[in-house]
Structure 1
């Protein structure tokens, strides 16, 4: 009798990740015309993503659960953009900070509808709000390590509280993008990236930027 082998858990997680990415792209497309997340039905989201309604409910309890998972995907993209600076911060090159800010802004533009939905639902869905805050706290924690390493190397101001400064800068970038980008054209993005770079560099580093 042939043995029955269960699919490894890794396969299920890989499939979940694939479906989450399909649903993230579908949500971005469907909300691009101004439709709110609350107006999107599970049927419409599933059809746009190319999956069945049954598949949706295999992986997600409801739309709130989906939004929390989409938040994880979006913030992975934002963290990936920020890593353009974090991973080479020991070079103390302001162009790395600029590349990170430009990447964050581009990711925000790409996922703007989902990020707007996260902000809206955070106000009345405690689980969404908690997820949103935890993701930003996670980004601030990574920036804290960058600041501490810079302080140890003598490049970043020693008097700064690394944790408080990282949290402040993280929320500054998040709020700035959320408040300004929806009402500004794409031509504004380079100016914003440069402004954020100047502010962050001036707050952290002992040497003046030369871009």
Structure 2
């Protein structure tokens, strides 16, 4: 399928009702026709009310996505983006501070990688492309981190690029994200303990 088979208005052209609901919840329906969707502060900071809305509206869908029920969504740009949100981003809100927050990460990377290989990212608005790339930024593998930095650099947003580089640098230093240790039941090293006391050590 070529890029010409897709419209840049990826939300309005989504034909899957459940995928559309995910996209409208995350990005907002009012800006569905814009190539430059607005960035939402709620994405980047813990908020109990927003987390509750994610749980109420999407916990079941997220579980079903992890079980493979929506694998066919990956055949379209809009579906792949919605699937990545259900596997990678929404679980971080639904299961904040618990190991389940990261249960979909591997599958999300697979979906994102397939979408990128097919050029689906090229038809997305910049902030949507960011969320398609975030499974790479969330990876504890350095090669994924390096790829995330390269992809996000193209988006032309210095803040996003700075965060991508900071994620990469943590993985280069520790081989994992120390701030996940408590949720995942991992022992924290002395060096990691010192690091976790520094500003910006957690995301």
Larger Rg: 1
Determine which structure has the larger helix proportion and give its number. 1
| Shorter-chain TM-score tier | 0.3 to 0.5
TM-score by length of 1: 0.34
Larger relative CO (CA 8 A, sep 6+): 1 or 2? 1
TM-score by length of 2: 0.35
